[in-house]
A = this chain, B = another copy of it.
Amino acid sequence: MSQQNQETIPINYKVKQLADMAGVSSDVVRYYTRISLLEPKQEKLNGYKLYNTHDLHRLRFIRCAKNLGYSLSEIAEILIHSSSGKSPCLMVRDIVEKRIVENRKKLQELEQLQDRMEEAVKKWSDLPDKLPNGNSVCHLIESFGEL
Contacts and interface: CB of A to CB of B under 8 A. Distances in A.
By secondary structure, the A interface counts as helix
Interface residues on A, range: 35 or more
A131 B84 CA distance: 10
B114 A97 contact: no
Interface in A84-103: 85-90, 92-93, 96-97, 99-100, 103
B96 A121 contact: yes
A69 B116 contact: yes
A140 B93 contact: yes
Contacts of A86: 131-132
B138 A83 contact: no
B104 A114 contact: yes
